[in-house]
Amino acid sequence: MSQNATTKPLAGVRVIEMGQLLAGPFCARILAEFGAEVIKIEPPKKGDPLRVWRAVLDETKTSLWWYVQSRNKKSITLDMNNPAASGIVKQLIAKSDVLVENFKPGTMEKWGLSWDEVHKANPATVMTRVSGWGQNGPYKDKAGYGSIGESMGGIRYITGYPDRPPVRAGISLGDSLAGMWGAMGTLMAIYHRDARGGQGQVVDVALNEATFALMEGMLPEYDKLGIIRERTGAAMPGISPSNTYRCKDGKYMVIAGNGDSVFKRFMYAIERNDLAEDPTLANNNDRVQQDHILDEAIAAWTSVRTYDEAFEILSKADVPVGPIYTIADIAADPHYQARGMIQEFELPGIGKIKIPGIMPKLSETPGETEWLGPTLGEHNREIYGDLLGLDEATLQEWAKTGLI
């Protein structure tokens, strides 16, 4: 335990995590990073499937993703299909502040852990429920993954090039967004309970809504003007100039010269004084109408300069510009390192491993990695024995029968 564990903003908050893979666990991960005690319930023997997803470390037979996604969490095992399991979970709920789950609606009810039962076990508990479509509505019983949430939440349709099929981001964006909204909602509910004398409540997060909530002004634009935003490739629709440009050495740079004053500096920097002083390009809405002209001018300028040459000129002019980084670029970048976003942690028996730092950064009570993702059932004795007060004989019997 770190020296400042008790000063973390969520110190003293206990969270029960029931779920697997990403959305619910990502929500609980954020809470754990800032001091909450997160007790993750996993199926005996196999655990969360994320333990073996993506790149697996040969020595531990464990996913490298797992070590980050489950950092600071405590792992216990429990067979939820055993009739005795719900009673054990209720004992944990009685001693906890939050229950996070991301099962298909009806699953918790099947296990005897509906909101009514959770609230009865502990009226102060916040129940954060992350699912594909939410806890009500005509789609609530449909299967839902992050990819479907992204596609029906609006982001897939506008991602890619207009002459090609829609594409996805290379990460599980919908799940992570839902987890972030879940963490935000959980903290709001805790504040209402603790600062205003309220009780526990349900935080209901749907994967499609988590994506839809980021869709800027698309709904009123469609409602009042009939506008359906389309795919625009690397350009930012409705904001000009903001695009990706190829340099002479084959490297790409992203330039965001769309602020009115930034635009003028940008055009002067690339020696296009005529564009800088053109009154029809003085504001963004007018520039959008002529963005093809601007893109051609900018592309012509970058095409005869190396990335380093173009970067130096634009940086001196205070124009927002940057490269498109691979993970290798990020790992080597001194700014990421100076900000603590590339950390090294000791993986027992393996050696040092690089992991992402923690966001956001708090000046007085920052988050911290205390340990990497735990082994399956690593905290059974601590939680069942110390927290619930069960004796060793009971735990051995539970293990023998497969309950834990």
Task: Tell me the CATH number at 319.
Answer: 3.30.1540.10
The per-residue pLDDT for 5 is 59
In a domain, 248, yes or no: yes
In a domain, 289, yes or no: yes
In a domain, 227, yes or no: no
* Peptide bond before residue 241 is cis, with ω within 30 degrees of 0: yes
- The ranges of the chain with pLDDT < 70 are 1-6
The per-residue pLDDT for 102 is 97
Last residue of a domain, one of 276, 296, 325: 325
pLDDT above 90 coverage of the chain, percent? 94
Answer yes or no: do 312 and 374 share one domain: no
Give CA 187 to chain center in angstroms: 16
Instruction: Evaluate whether 33 touches 369 at the Cβ level (below 8 Å).
Output: yes
Q: Dump pLDDT digits (tens) for 343-371.
A: 999 998 899 999 999 999 999 999 999 99
- Cα gap 184→358, rounded to integer Å: 16
The per-residue pLDDT for 4 is 56
In a domain, 236, yes or no: no
Q: Dump pLDDT digits (tens) for 126-151.
A: 999 999 999 999 999 998 899 999 99
Answer yes or no: do 275 and 184 share one domain: no
Answer yes or no: do 56 and 138 share one domain: yes
Q: Dump pLDDT digits (tens) for 30-61.
A: 999 999 999 999 999 999 999 999 999 989 99
Answer yes or no: do 299 and 365 share one domain: no
Residues comprising the chain, all counted: 404
How many domains are there within the chain? 2
Answer yes or no: do 66 and 113 share one domain: yes
Answer yes or no: do 319 and 344 share one domain: no
In a domain, 224, yes or no: no
In a domain, 60, yes or no: yes
The per-residue pLDDT for 1 is 43
Answer yes or no: do 374 and 321 share one domain: no
Last residue of a domain, one of 325, 358, 376: 325
Answer yes or no: do 302 and 369 share one domain: no
Single out the catalytic residue among 175, 194, 204, 278: 175
Answer yes or no: do 166 and 19 share one domain: yes
Answer yes or no: do 87 and 162 share one domain: yes
In a domain, 25, yes or no: yes
In a domain, 90, yes or no: yes
Task: Tell me the CATH number at 199.
Answer: 3.40.50.10540
Range of the domain at 291: 242-325
Last residue of a domain, one of 290, 325, 360: 325
Active site residue 291: no
The per-residue pLDDT for 306 is 97
Answer yes or no: do 67 and 157 share one domain: yes
Answer yes or no: do 191 and 255 share one domain: no
